[in-house]
Amino acid sequence: MLDLDLLPDGGMSWLDASGPESSVVLSSRVRLARNLQGIAFTTRADDGELEATRDQIIGAARQAAVLEGAAEFRLDGLEPLERQLLHERHMISRDLAGLERGRTVRRGAALLTNGELGMMINEEDHLRLQSLRSGSDLTGAYAVLERLDTDLGRHLPLAFHPEFGYLTACPTNVGTGLRASVLIHLPGLVLTKRSRGPSRGSLRSGSRSAGSTARAARSSATSSSSPTRRPSASPRRNSWTT
């Protein structure tokens, strides 16, 4: 049974408008994709491998100071409505929740989170680290996520290539495995007269926009994200350049 009382504010602290420029930017998220060496990607692994991967990752995560006291949710033991609730609170993806048509929850699928910082286990990649914060705070979100990435790298054999960077299930994520996004309140942009359409810089960098998951006749929020693909020289650090 899903118990959201284990999380501060039920996992909704990113929506409390406590962050900078929160009248326009509802939240900022930074995500890192990682995989373990010598283990098949989740779409190719069998149930035993998926469960072993989950246990290995959770064991390493319990040694990370920034995740001390984090709640653990094993998604393959939750009801569909409970998984949908976690997805609607931006804590897991539709893929991990098994909400896509014709798909079921993978064996070994899990979430470990303390609210603002967490990890999805056995999604498209073995590990998706994510930091979700209120307002426009990509720098803060990245800083705490980098500490978690460094801690996990001390205990997990992450798949890293000296030329290509971190190896991922999808080729577009290979490199840093990093993607940064902000959820923007469109009426706030209009009221503050800051909406001038996509900038040339965002188009050159490969940024994209998508409507919020709470779709109505007219969406009032949009998520703008930008991937970074150039690997850094060290497997423990990431580059913001594209």
Tens-place pLDDT, residues 109-168 = 999 998 889 999 999 999 999 999 999 999 999 999 999 999 999 999 999 999 999 999
Pair of tokens at residue 161: 């290539």
Pair of tokens at residue 147: 């500490």
Question: What region, left, alpha or beta, does residue 38 occupy, with left being phi > 0 and alpha being psi -120 to 50 degrees?
Answer: left
Within-domain flag for 189: no
Domain count within the chain: 1
Within-domain flag for 169: yes
Range of the domain at 93: 8-18+28-179
- Give the global pTM: 0.80
Q: Could you tell me where the DSSP H helices lie in the chain?
A: 47-61, 80-88, 94-97, 138-153, 186-191, 200-205
Q: Could you tell me the CATH number of the domain that includes residue 127?
A: 3.30.590.10
Within-domain flag for 67: yes
Within-domain flag for 196: no
* Rounded Cα gap, residues 159 and 38, in angstroms: 8
Within-domain flag for 149: yes
